[in-house]
Amino acid sequence: MPLYLGIDSSTQSMTGVVIDTDSGSMIAETSINFDEHFGSAYGVTNGVVDLGQGVVHSYPLMWIDALEALFEALKRDGCALGEIAAIAGSGQQHGTVYLNASAADTLSGLEPGMPLSQQLQGIFSRKTAPIWMDSSTAQQCREIEEGVGGSNRLLNLTGNTAFERFSGPQIRKFYQDEPEAYEQTAYTGLVSSYVASVLVGKLVSVDVGDASGTNMMDIRSKTWSPSALDATAPGLSDRLTPVTASGSPAGTIHPYFVAAHGFSSDCTVLPFSGDNPCSLIGLGLVESGHVALSLGTSDTLFACMAEPRVSTEGEGCVFASPDDAHYMALICYMNGSLAREAVRDQFGLDWGGFTAALETSLPGNDGKMMLPFFDPEIVPNVGAGVVRRHLEEEDAAGNIRAVIEAQAVSSHIHSRWMGLDITSLYVTGGASANEEILKVFANVHGCPVHRFETTNAAGLGAAIRAYHGHQPSISWPDACGPFCQPVAGSTIQPDPSTRSTYDDLIEAYSAFEREHVAS
């Protein structure tokens, strides 16, 4: 009975998800919270150190302390680590780790009987790692875009314009601010490749999924782009290992983990990937046209694409999928549950009252529309300010339907650049429990909506990647199938009688939004 382990090294915790492919079930999910276990030792809050002026870092050594604590916790929970056939992982995307020339020998020579963090403390050319929350690289973003010939050139080359949170701008800032430390850097990796390197005991390459979130990988050839590297920092190609396929094993687990934690000596380690690409697998999005929407604090749309199409308006990100065949599109809306809750609270309702008002109002809302920008919005990129058309502010039912229809219609309009025929929509997050909200999304998109309930899509996706990497003859749909099923009885079919109503609303809302953005 082989087991497979997915490790999710996220911002605030290290989580292990173990799946049993014989029974098609998740048999363990254990998490180590960084603040709870290491807050005093490393001085972190919510897993990070906020250094001010947009600079947010964390500690690579802390992640390794958490890794060992995770293995011990899994054993205490009754998980037989010796039965794990393969491991894959997910790392918080974009974070960069900088190692010196001693790293390779130290990793290969790990010895049991001494804590890992004690053995690894001398391998860093930079003791902290800037992570995805760091927004201090606006200058470097512009310089990289100029270096490759403009933002459109970088977009078409890498799939993304330069983002402050991406790895390339962070590397450039390090080179500019700490040139001596950069000179001492022999290897630059990501959170994902760093944790995998420790497990294998050698420097592991960045996989295609995580490399596509750096502003440095050619999205079509899936190799580092020489022009993007040159625009980022001098000699950078000498500090990187080649991009690797996500399904190509990195090696077997280092003997340290066999002796210290009881793993089998033939346990295979797959390259780790980013948390967003791993979530694509964990949601079962392994066929083009499959789309998931997380209705949370912010609303995030994930889509599986056959080809790497890009948004010329800069409305989304494009990553390579860890299935090594598809691509991932991602759109994030700031005004998710924040907007829904604002409307609910405006009328002093609970969710039951909100739902009743939505249920009794009519599709199309008699032409009443809202641009629900309670906070500055990412898609479209506009400042805060709610705008209503043909809608009175005190009309409770009208405002409730308007905010939900705006969110559904916006997800339809702003996903067009993906070039997808959306055939199904998997919805997760808190609002996915509301059937009336899901009916609106089903009718607007004209496809079935399935509620998908998962607590850690990234960790589950990593475990499925370990399974597929160990048994590559299994198709991706078959690998995901047992673990990525919608909640039984949750599927909502679109109502054909609403099609013309929503076609008209999509056109009207699109014009309404364009007028506001242009004003």
Taking only the tens place, the pLDDT of each residue in 109-147 is 999 989 999 999 999 999 999 999 999 999 999 999 999
Residue 105 neighbours by CB under 8 Å, 6+ apart? none
pLDDT higher than 80, residue 345: yes
Q: Is the pLDDT of residue 72 over 70?
A: yes
Whole-number pLDDT of residue 312: 86
Residue 453 has pLDDT above 90, yes or no: no
Q: Is the pLDDT of residue 430 over 90?
A: no
- Arithmetic mean of pLDDT, 76-85: 96
Please determine, for residue 1, whether its predicted confidence score (pLDDT) is greater than 70: no
State the average pLDDT over residues 67-81. Answer: 97
Lowest mean pLDDT among 236-240, 266-270, 319-323, 483-487: 483-487
| Pure H helices in 222-320 | 226-232, 255-261, 275-282
pLDDT band at 319; cut points 50, 70, 90: very high
Neighbouring-strand partners of residue 99: 124, 187
Report the share of the chain in percent with pLDDT over 70.
Answer: 100
**pLDDT higher than 90, residue 450:** yes
- What pLDDT shows up at residue 11? 93
**Average confidence (pLDDT) over 190-209:** 98
To which CATH superfamily is domain 284-453+488-519 assigned? Answer: ATPase, nucleotide binding domain (3.30.420.40)
Q: Is the pLDDT of residue 313 over 90?
A: no
Instruction: Read off the tokens for 197.
Output: 């390197």
Residue 466, SS3 per DSSP: helix
Task: Look at residue 298 in the predicted model and tell me its pLDDT.
Answer: 87
Other Cβ atoms within 10 Å of 210 Cβ, number: 34
Q: Where are the domains of the chain?
A: 3-277, 284-453+488-519
- Backbone φ, ψ for residue 410 (5° rounding): -60, -40
Domain 3-277 matches domain 284-453+488-519 at the CATH topology level: yes
3-state secondary structure of 343: helix
**Cα 208 to the chain's mean position, in Å?**
14
- Which distant-in-sequence residues (6+ apart) come within 8 Å of 79 by Cβ? 3, 18, 27, 28, 30
Residues 6+ away with beta carbon under 8 Å from 405: 364, 365, 369, 440, 444, 505, 509
Retrieve residue 37's tokens: 């276990």
pLDDT at 357 exceeding the cut of 80: yes
Mean pLDDT over residues 232-246, rounded?
Answer: 97
What dihedral angle (degrees, nearest 10) is formed by the CA atoms of 196, 201, 206, 207? Answer: -60
Quote the pLDDT of residue 314: 80
Residue found under tokens 């393969």: 86
Just give the CATH number of 3-277.
3.30.420.40
Tokens read off for 314? 């800069």
Rounded-to-10 torsion of CA 475, 28, 254, 128: 100
Report field, pTM of the whole predicted structure over 0.85: yes
Residue 151 has pLDDT above 70, yes or no: yes
Mean pLDDT in residue range 243-262 = 98
Separation of alpha carbons 476 and 288, rounded Å: 12
pLDDT tens string 253-283: 999 999 999 999 999 999 999 999 999 999 9
Q: Which of 359, 333, 372 is nearest to 438 (CA)?
A: 359
